């Protein structure tokens, strides 16, 4: 009978691989088309791989807790001639035929496809970072680092003994040997993804500006609104309106061109186990605060379960993060590699504010707004004007 390969699908934009978490079926089980058969974990969420057709699971060749690239074969499904014809494979395995010899000596055709190689972001050793490290890497050093799966940032904890403080290959080997005496643990796929994103983000010149604003109008509005919008959603809606008026600050520098955003799709940071996920709300400038609240709350729960829908990942032009939930009043969050902006919201605190009409200091609840940005695209003046516009919009939350 024809055999159909079970292939790792494209599980979302920019996702190149996924880690096998659990097998929901075993060899010999009968499955239906589109039935969930393998649970996998990407750097964004936990998702399922579904059966490509109806039939019997002939074998599963993927291994649990290992990563496989998009397009890799995870197993084989034995299907009927009718099912093969329905799927358009005409009973012939594709794209490369090979022969499999059964126990009774009979030969049957099976599909053999070269597995795409996974190029993991970080291959192994978690290493500490401190003040000094390698400023020059010789070809020999680079080759050895590639073998170990290390990056230049991982060399920051090594004090060089070579000329002008250069890190030599002997320094590297001693450093690796010293790690073996310490407690080591595998970095999770989520931690690796966050590390890779931050490494790529910091390849750009980044800057941060901040502005205090009065939280009282927002708090009053939130108190009388049901369902209650999260503070980050107020900030997201205000940012979307400001960018709809002028989207240039959210543009990306690619070569000598500024690429303007095609839509005002904005992500928001949600803390999950061992990392952060960024669900995305689409066309935020076109939807009122009340319209966005239900979807926002849904995506927060999906993110915490690490089961974000595909339409809520990737493609955002900016991120909003409420670091005030951790009691922080000031922070410098880092934009994602594909974004120019990240808006941060700090914790509120009671402060005295001068009231000109009453000629007296009155208590208000105040919080800091921060805007971190790619300095190649945006300067301090433009960032300041954008932040001031967002702060002004937050003073009239009923219009959001």
Output the pLDDT for position 198: 83
Say what the pLDDT of residue 136 is.
61
Round to whole Å and give the CA distance between 240 and 235: 9
Q: Where are the domains of the chain?
A: 3-111, 123-186, 205-399
- CATH code of the region 205-399: 3.30.559.10
Torsion of CA 62, 73, 55, 45, to 10 degrees: 70
- The predicted structure's pLDDT at residue 157: 63
pLDDT in tens, the chain (400 residues): 788 899 888 876 557 788 899 999 999 999 998 899 999 987 667 888 999 889 999 999 999 988 888 888 999 999 888 888 887 765 444 333 333 334 444 444 444 444 444 443 332 223 332 334 445 677 788 888 888 877 777 776 676 777 656 778 888 888 888 877 888 787 777 777 777 788 788 888 999 999 999 999 999 999 999 889 999 999 999 999 999 999 889 988 888 888 888 899 999 999 887 788 899 999 999 999 989 999 999 999 999 888 888 889 888 999 999 999 999 999 999 998 889 999 999 999 999 999 899 899 999 999 999 999 999 999 999 999 999 999 999 999 999 8
Model pLDDT, residue 90: 54
The pLDDT value given to residue 234? 96
The second-level CATH assignment, the architecture, of 3-111 is: Beta Barrel (2.40)
Cα distances from 296 to residues 119, 275, 396, in angstroms, run: 34, 19, 20
User: How many helices and strands (H and E) does the chain possess?
Assistant: 8, 21
First-to-last C-alpha distance (Å) of the chain = 61
Q: What was the pLDDT predicted at 60?
A: 92
Q: Determine the Cα–Cα distance for residues 333 and 321; give it in Å rounded to an integer.
A: 8
Radius of gyration of the chain (CA): 26
Show Cβ contacts of residue 298 under 8 Å, excluding neighbours closer than 6 positions.
none
The structure's pTM equals: 0.64
Cβ neighbors of 168 (< 8 A, separation 6 or more) are 141, 160, 161, 162
**Sign of torsion, CA 177 183 185 191?**
negative
Instruction: Output DSSP code: residue 77.
Output: E
């Amino acid at each position: 009978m024809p055999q159909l390969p079970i292939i790792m699908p494209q599980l979302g934009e920019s996702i190149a691989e996924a880690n096998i978490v659990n097998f929901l079926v075993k060899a010999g089980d009968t499955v239906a088309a589109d039935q969930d058969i393998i649970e996998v974990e990407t750097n964004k969420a936990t998702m399922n791989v579904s059966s490509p057709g109806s039939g019997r699971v002939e074998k599963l060749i993927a291994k649990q807790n290992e990563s496989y690239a998009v397009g890799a074969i995870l197993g084989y499904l034995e299907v009927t001639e009718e099912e093969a014809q329905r799927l358009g494979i005409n009973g012939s395995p594709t794209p490369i035929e090979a022969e499999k010899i059964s126990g009774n000596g009979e030969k049957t055709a099976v599909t053999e496809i070269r597995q795409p190689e996974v190029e993991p972001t970080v291959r192994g050793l978690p290493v500490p970072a401190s003040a000094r490290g390698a400023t020059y890497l010789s070809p020999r050093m680079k080759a050895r680092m590639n073998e170990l799966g290390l990056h230049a940032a991982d060399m920051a904890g090594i004090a060089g003994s070579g000329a002008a403080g250069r890190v030599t290959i002997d320094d590297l080997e001693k450093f690796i040997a010293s790690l073996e005496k310490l407690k080591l643990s595998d970095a999770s796929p989520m931690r690796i993804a966050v590390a890779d994103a931050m490494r790529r983000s910091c390849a750009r010149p980044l800057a941060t500006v901040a502005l205090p604003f009065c939280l009282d109008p927002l708090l009053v509005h939130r108190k009388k609104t049901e369902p209650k919008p999260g503070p980050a959603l107020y900030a997201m809606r205000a940012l979307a309106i400001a960018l709809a008026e002028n989207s240039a600050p959210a543009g990306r520098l690619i070569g000598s061109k500024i690429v303007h955003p095609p839509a005002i799709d904005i992500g928001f940071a949600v803390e999950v186990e061992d990392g952060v996920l960024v669900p995305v709300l689409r066309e935020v400038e076109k939807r009122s605060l009340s319209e966005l609240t239900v979807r926002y709350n849904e995506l927060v729960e999906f993110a915490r379960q690490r089961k974000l829908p595909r339409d809520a990942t990737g493609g955002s032009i900016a991120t909003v993060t409420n670091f005030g939930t951790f009691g922080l009043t000031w922070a410098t969050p880092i934009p994602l590699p594909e974004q120019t902006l990240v808006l941060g919201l700090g914790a509120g605190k009671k402060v005295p504010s001068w009231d000109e009409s009453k000629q007296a200091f009155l208590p208000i609840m105040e919080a800091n707004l921060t805007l971190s940005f790619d300095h190649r695209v945006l300067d301090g003046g433009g960032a300041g004007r954008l932040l001031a516009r967002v702060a002004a919009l937050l003073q009239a939350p009923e219009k959001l």
